Amino acid sequence: MTTKPTLPSRGMLCYFVLCTLAMVWPGALIANRIEPLVMGLPFFLFWYIAWVFAMFVGLVICYRRDTAEEVDDE
């Protein structure tokens, strides 16, 4: 049994583009400072960790939505 791969929705695509831009040039300019310390980490490092976690949450949501669609198709 093979399933046809689905394309991500526009909302999720925009979400991942926003997350990516927050970690490169535009976002790095906003967060490019040491102070304030957040949980003992420089702000720049905390910024990157927060966006990596945000991308992880988005991937989990995409995975669950795709598997729910596969169950509905059966």
Domain residue extents for the chain? 10-73
**pTM, full prediction:** 0.76
Q: What percent of the chain has pLDDT over 90?
A: 36
Beta bridge partners of 41: 38
Q: In whole angstroms, how far apart are CA 48 and each of 18, 23, 57, 61, 67?
A: 13, 6, 14, 20, 29
With 70 as the cut, is the pLDDT of residue 63 above it? yes
With 80 as the cut, is the pLDDT of residue 65 above it? yes
With 80 as the cut, is the pLDDT of residue 15 above it? yes
Q: In whole angstroms, how far apart are CA 50 and each of 3, 19, 39, 70?
A: 34, 10, 12, 31
With 80 as the cut, is the pLDDT of residue 11 above it? yes
